[in-house]
Amino acid sequence: MTETKKTILIIDDHEAVRANLKRFFGSYNIIEADSKEDGLRKYDEHRKSIDLVITDCDMEQPEIGFDLISDIRTRGGKIPIIMLSGGNPEEKKARLATYSGDNVFVNKAMSVGIIPIVAEKLAGPGITGP
């Protein structure tokens, strides 16, 4: 049996944020997208291999991450999603709770170190197999 790497789709309009997140996931395959449209395109292209989506809430428009989640769910995606945001976390957490699927809100002001822990809980370890 061969080892299989899990795959995370990271969607954020800031290259530095994507690069920072990517550092935490060395044992995962990473697919990057820089906008909602790019993220949906890559989701559609790789949907069978993606184990987790991490997206910014506020990219090219405020709270567009919620539209992204709706679009993924409309496509039948049951994939776990971590939403990152820096503003008004309580309101955004409450709104995210109304969406179907495994969705977790992480405030960007929190230690970035929590994101890999949440990711592993949702998607499993980066490498599976013997």
Query: In this structure, what CATH number is given to the domain that contains residue 12?
Result: 3.40.50.2300
Are 47 and 94 in contact by the 8 Å Cβ rule? The answer is no
Domain extent for 34? 4-128
Residue-wise pLDDT for 24-41, tens only, equals: 888 899 999 999 999 999
Residue-wise pLDDT for 4-27, tens only, equals: 889 999 999 999 989 988 888 888
Number of domains in the chain: 1
Instruction: Output the CA–CA distances (angstroms, integers) from residue 61 to 9, 46, 50, 58, 96, in the order listed.
Output: 20, 25, 25, 6, 17
